[in-house]
Structure formats: structure tokens, C-alpha cells
């Protein structure tokens, strides 16, 4: 058996939660390796709906969850999430959750700076969630981050706060925002310490032992490839690397631990927040896709922009993200459309492109090149085999495979975890 890494192959919100939940039931350990509480997965288990943003999805299935060093952790948000799922009858304890002791923390000053900078941008907003993710990653690479392990060392914590406040209070004051008091921050962190530290350990050691023992490890990505800070539609991206290679560096494992990479993509396209979106629909069809797909963000509640499937974009995600196979979700949302369109490339200043260029002006000017396919009248909702699908739906899926240059190894036909057509077991060698 092999490990499996799951990443989004569009701009996030592709229905990763259901796929992760479905695979987590067959894994031994589920690892979050990047991002923060700016992304989330919705898991429907029986009569309960769990909305997770930091907790690895495996905890819902009684599997060990690991938050790796590549994640930025808001300790207050994490504890609130643990309390919330606990109230739903799902206890999360140090026996079911481990946190990398070298993971950076998100502090209230990061949230304040995030919001102040976004407000200062005015009409040039980049669509941040305002949860402090970007500023926390900035502190990490600037070597001034407070990490989980620092909570066990009050003197280290105090010294690091001096450097942090020198930097952040200067910026906040320049933006006309309130500044922070060291004593208040230190007090709150020391109060949080005994609640967070029981979960902390060098998780790389546990993961290395688990791999040696033959355990199945599922790496759970957040956001998606086109939000990757290097490979996405920069600067309208997240602040971390979302590609599969980050599963190794963000967990403390070697690159050969990543295993099979499953890219999740909707049968159409959505995006939350600002940024280019060539196949976006501003008409009744776009509205209908949003209504039928219930397109609102798990964490933010923001309405998602909707459009046709962009095969050129997903092909790009397949190549740079290391995707071995696609999990195509929400096929049932397309039921009843007389015709469907797939974006196969872009026209920019009279020139055709098979990929979305890196330049901001080029991305903003890109208009889609479409291929039109017949739709289908019958329902695909709940189908669990190819035989239950209309011929036109199968043709649509096969055409996507050809255009993105990757096989569809899993097809989801409803939010229910068992309404899934499995072509190839991702855990199989």
C-alpha cells in the first residue's frame, strides 16, 4: 500500500471534505501540512455536519490527526474548534490529535495587521480572509515567529514578543490601527500554553515510525494549486505552497512519503474572493450553478463565483501539482443543462494560450476558448457505477480526462460519502 496526498486542482472549495472523509476511513493517520484556519472542509457523517478548519478530517473517523509544521496555528481558533466538535459529541484529545512543536502561531496582532492592510488597499484588495495567515507566514520566513514549542519557554516567549512588537506595532501605527501591549499578549499566551502543549510533539518522529510500521498516511491539503503562492494566480493567492510536494516539507517527512497524489476538481469551476477567473459566468447560468451547488465558503460563508470547467487551468494544476489522478466532484450539479462548455485555453491580445500566463495584466485580459458538449436530461445524483450514468455524462468526463491529461480515478455524484464511483483505489500501489 502507498500513502495518498489530496490537493485541490482549482481555486479551492472543490469538495475535498467528502473525498478526504471517504479516504480517511481507510487511512491510519491524517496529516494537515499547510495553510491555516482560512480554509475548511465540511463533513457529513450520519445526522451530523462537521465544519472543520484546522482539525484534520480523520478525527471524525476516529483516526489520529496530525497538524504539521507547515500549518500556521491560531491557538484560540483551534481550541474553539475542539470545543465546538466536542459539543457535537466528538471529543478531541491528545490521544487523537498531535501538533508539530515547531509549527508557527497566529497571534491577534497578525489578524489586526491582515485586516488593516486589506482595508488600506481599497479597491485593490487581494481577497484575504483577514485571519492573519499571511502575516504569520511572513514572520516565519523572517525568523521572528513564535512557535508552539516557545509556549513552554516563558523567557523565550518574552524576548520574541519584543521583536514581534517592534515590527508589527510600527506597521499598525503607520496604518492608523491600534497597537498591542506586550504584557497583555504574554499573559494570554501563557494562559493558552497548558491547553496547547499537551498536544505538541516532534511529529516527524511519530510519522517516521508510522511509515516504518506500514501505516497508511493521508496528507490533507487546504486551498488548491491555483492559490499556491508560487504557482497560483499571484498575488490573488494564499500565503503557502499548496502543491503536493509541500506534504513532505510541511510534515517533516521525505519527498518519497507523498505517495499517490489525488487532485480534487469540480465538474465546473468556482472561486471565492478577488482575482482572475476566465470562465466565470455573470449570467443566469452562473447563478443557477451557485444555487444548485450551494456555493458558499465553509469558513467565511462568502458566496462563490461560478463558471464553466476550465480544463487549461486544471491541466496546469495537474502538471505543477504532481497530480496522478483526478477526483471529479459535483457532477450532479450539471444535470439538465442542454449544452455544456469546457474552457480549453485562452485568447490574450489576439494570441492563443494553452496555459494561464504568470503576468497580472495577461491573466486579467484572458478570455476563454470554449468547446461545447451535449448535456444530459437524466439525473446523475447518487450514481455509484458508470452504468448508472447517462452516455453524455460519461462523454463529458472522458473529454475532461483528455484535456487535463490525467485520468479521473474517482467520481462524486452527491454530498453523501458513498455516492462515489471508484475507478482506481488511491491507496493501492
Whether 240 contacts 224, CB under 8 Å: no
DSSP for residue 281: -
Pairing status of strand 48-52 against strand 64-67:
unpaired
Pairing status of strand 367-374 against strand 339-348:
antiparallel
Alpha helices (H) along 69-181: 75-87, 108-121, 133-141, 154-174
Q: Is 355 a catalytic residue?
A: no
Whether 261 contacts 44, CB under 8 Å: no
Exactly one of 37, 41, 110, 231 is catalytic; name it.
Answer: 41
C-alpha cell at 229: 503562492
β-sheet bridge partners, residue 6:
220, 262
Whether 19 contacts 327, CB under 8 Å: yes
Name every residue whose Cβ is closer than 8 Å to that of residue 104 and which is 6 or more positions away in sequence: 72, 73, 136, 137, 139, 140, 145, 146, 147
Exactly one of 13, 74, 101, 114 is catalytic; name it.
Answer: 13
Q: Is 310 a catalytic residue?
A: no
Name every residue whose Cβ is closer than 8 Å to that of residue 211 and which is 6 or more positions away in sequence: 3, 217, 253, 257
Q: Which residues are catalytic?
A: 13, 41
Amino acid at each position: 500500500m502507498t500513502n495518498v496526498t489530496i490537493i485541490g486542482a482549482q481555486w479551492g472549495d472543490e469538495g475535498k471534505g467528502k473525498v478526504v472523509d471517504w479516504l480517511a476511513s481507510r487511512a491510519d493517520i491524517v496529516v494537515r501540512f499547510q495553510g491555516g484556519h482560512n480554509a475548511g472542509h465540511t463533513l457529513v457523517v450520519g445526522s451530523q455536519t462537521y465544519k472543520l478548519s484546522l482539525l484534520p478530517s480523520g478525527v471524525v473517523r476516529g483516526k489520529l490527526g496530525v497538524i504539521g509544521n507547515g500549518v500556521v496555528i491560531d491557538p484560540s481558533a483551534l481550541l474553539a474548534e475542539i470545543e465546538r466538535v466536542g459539543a457535537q459529541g466528538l471529543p478531541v484529545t491528545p490521544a487523537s490529535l498531535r501538533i508539530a512543536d515547531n509549527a508557527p502561531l497566529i497571534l491577534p496582532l497578525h489578524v489586526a495587521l491582515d485586516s488593516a492592510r486589506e482595508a488600506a488597499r481599497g479597491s485593490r484588495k487581494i481577497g484575504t480572509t483577514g485571519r492573519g495567515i499571511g502575516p504569520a507566514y511572513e514572520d516565519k520566513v523572517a525568523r521572528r515567529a513564535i512557535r508552539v514549542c516557545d509556549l513552554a519557554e516563558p523567557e523565550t516567549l518574552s524576548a520574541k514578543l519584543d521583536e514581534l512588537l517592534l515590527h508589527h506595532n510600527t506597521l499598525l501605527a503607520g496604518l492608523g490601527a491600534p497597537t498591542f501591549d506586550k504584557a497583555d499578549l504574554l499573559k494570554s499566551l501563557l494562559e493558552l500554553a497548558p491547553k496547547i502543549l499537551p498536544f505538541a510533539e516532534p511529529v516527524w518522529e511519530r510519522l517516521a515510525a508510522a511509515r516504518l510500521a506500514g501505516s497508511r498516511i493521508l496528507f490533507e491539503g487546504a486551498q488548491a494549486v491555483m492559490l499556491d503562492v508560487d504557482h497560483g494566480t499571484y498575488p490573488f493567492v494564499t500565503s503557502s505552497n499548496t502543491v503536493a510536494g509541500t506534504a513532505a516539507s510541511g510534515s517533516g517527512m521525505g519527498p518519497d512519503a507523498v505517495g499517490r497524489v489525488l487532485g480534487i476538481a469540480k465538474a465546473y469551476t468556482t472561486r471565492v474572493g478577488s482575482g482572475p477567473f476566465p470562465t466565470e459566468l455573470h449570467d443566469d447560468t452562473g447563478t443557477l450553478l451557485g444555487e444548485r451547488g450551494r456555493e458558499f465558503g465553509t469558513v467565511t460563508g462568502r458566496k462563490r463565483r461560478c463558471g464553466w470547467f476550465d480544463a487549461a487551468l486544471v491541466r496546469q494544476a495537474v502538471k505543477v501539482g504532481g497530480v496522478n489522478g483526478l477526483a471529479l466532484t459535483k457532477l450532479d450539479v450539471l444535470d439538465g443543462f442542454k449544452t455544456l462548455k469546457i474552457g480549453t485555453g485562452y485568447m490574450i491580445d489576439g494570441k492563443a494560450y494553452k496555459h494561464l500566463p504568470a503576468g497580472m495584466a495577461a491573466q486579467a485580459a484572458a478570455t476563454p476558448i470554449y468547446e461545447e458538449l451535449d448535456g444530459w436530461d437524466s439525473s446523475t445524483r447518487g450514481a455509484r457505477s458508470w452504468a448508472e450514468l447517462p452516455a453524455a455524462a460519461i462523454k463529458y468526463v472522458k473529454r475532461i480526462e483528455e484535456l487535463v491529461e490525467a485520468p479521473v480515478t474517482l467520481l462524486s455524484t452527491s454530498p453523501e460519502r458513498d455516492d462515489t464511483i471508484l475507478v482506481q483505489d488511491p491507496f493501492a500501489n
